Amino acid sequence: MMRALKRLSPAARLAWVGLLTVLAGVAFMTWNVRAGWAFTLPFRGEKLVAIALVGYCIAISTVLFQTLTHNRILTPGIMGFDALYLLLQSVLVFSLGNLFYVQINAQLKWLLDVAVMTGAVCALYYWLFVRQRRDLHLLVLVGLIFGVLFRSFTSLITRMMDPAEFDALQDVMFASFNQIDGSLLGISLLVAAIVSALLWRARYAYDVLNLGDDPAITLGLDQRTLVMRTLVGIAILVSIATALVGPVTFFGLLVANLAYALAGTHQHRYVLPLAGLLATAILIGGQAILEHLLHFGTGLSILIEFGGGLFFILLVIRQGRRS
């Protein structure tokens, strides 16, 4: 199987993964249909689009973040996106109360989540790169420290909540692919499409950046501007995925490394769409198995985080042996 796959071109591998994604989508839409098709198709179709969008955003943002950092074991989560999202929800629940929190307009809350997470990255980038002239590795380190700080504040706030407020917060602290607000799909798809189009235009520049920062600058690449624009795009994509389903930490790490392994090349014109298709196929196929075979015996996010966590440990061990 692997030998046959190695003989295929990257475009052929991309086509096969695309076919796998289509089959996963068909299985999700048609498997174990008990109600009428008129109800089932729109209901499952909305969930299918939402899951595909989340998988796509997580995969693309992780691949690009690894390109910027030149490290295959890092994800945008290390920048504190998930921790900032949880802190924001904790502050809203604690300040507004459970009753008012659940009544917040979904579009307004989505806009607030995306604006806060994206604005935090832009402010951090401006402070480190424009005013201080630091490098990207310091940005990652500062993001990691802020992530720990945000989690500490979240833990403090949750300890001061009453049980009813804490119970409401539990629903958003863990990723859920079963309760996605369909009213957010339109704006999420529009923003993700615009950001993706802008990032796709720089696909060849990312190939140059893969050579290293100094070689890329020597070849005439405006590395600082490219990094700034890409970080903003990553922040928006991660914010969209997190606002729709909640924080997902290790899934992007798993998908990005699988995409590189299957693509057989580092060219982003193949790796980026392959990662997006792989993430979509895995999430849709996993959700189909969870709903129709296991009958919601466990949460998909739990399985994903468990598998991704094990994969992260394996990557750390492999890199440790190489060094």
Instruction: Please give the full DSSP string across 274-306, using - where no structure is assigned.
Output: HHHHHHHHHHHHHHHHHHHTSSSSS-HHHHHHH
Cβ atoms < 10 Å from Cβ of 222: 12
Residue 163's CATH number: 1.10.3470.10
Q: How many residues does the chain have?
A: 323
* pLDDT the model gives residue 57: 92
For residue 146, the Cα-to-chain-centroid distance in whole angstroms is 19
- Each residue's pLDDT tens digit, 54-92: 889 999 999 998 898 888 877 887 777 778 888 888 888
- Each residue's pLDDT tens digit, 158-195: 888 877 777 777 767 766 777 777 778 888 899 999 99
What would the mean pLDDT of 125-144 be, rounded to a whole number?
68
* pLDDT the model gives residue 138: 74
pLDDT band, very low/low/confident/very high, at 1 (cuts 50, 70, 90): very low
Q: Which domain holds residue 183?
A: 35-322
Q: Would you say 117 and 85 are in contact if contact means Cβ atoms under 8 Å apart?
A: yes
Cβ atoms < 10 Å from Cβ of 66: 22
Written as one letter, the residue type at 126 is Y
- Alpha-carbon Rg for the chain, nearest whole angstrom, is 20
Is residue 164 assigned to a domain? yes
SS3 89: helix
- Each residue's pLDDT tens digit, 237-258: 988 888 888 777 778 888 888 8
Six-digit token pair at 111? 């806009």
- List the one residue out of 85, 84, 102, 81 whose CA is nearest residue 93: 102
Residue 323 has pLDDT above 60, yes or no: no
* pLDDT the model gives residue 274: 93
* pLDDT the model gives residue 93: 83
Is residue 273 assigned to a domain? yes
Is residue 143 assigned to a domain? yes
Q: What is the DSSP letter of 127?
A: I
Q: Number of folded domains in the chain?
A: 1
- Give dist(CA 312, CA 193) in Å, integer: 29
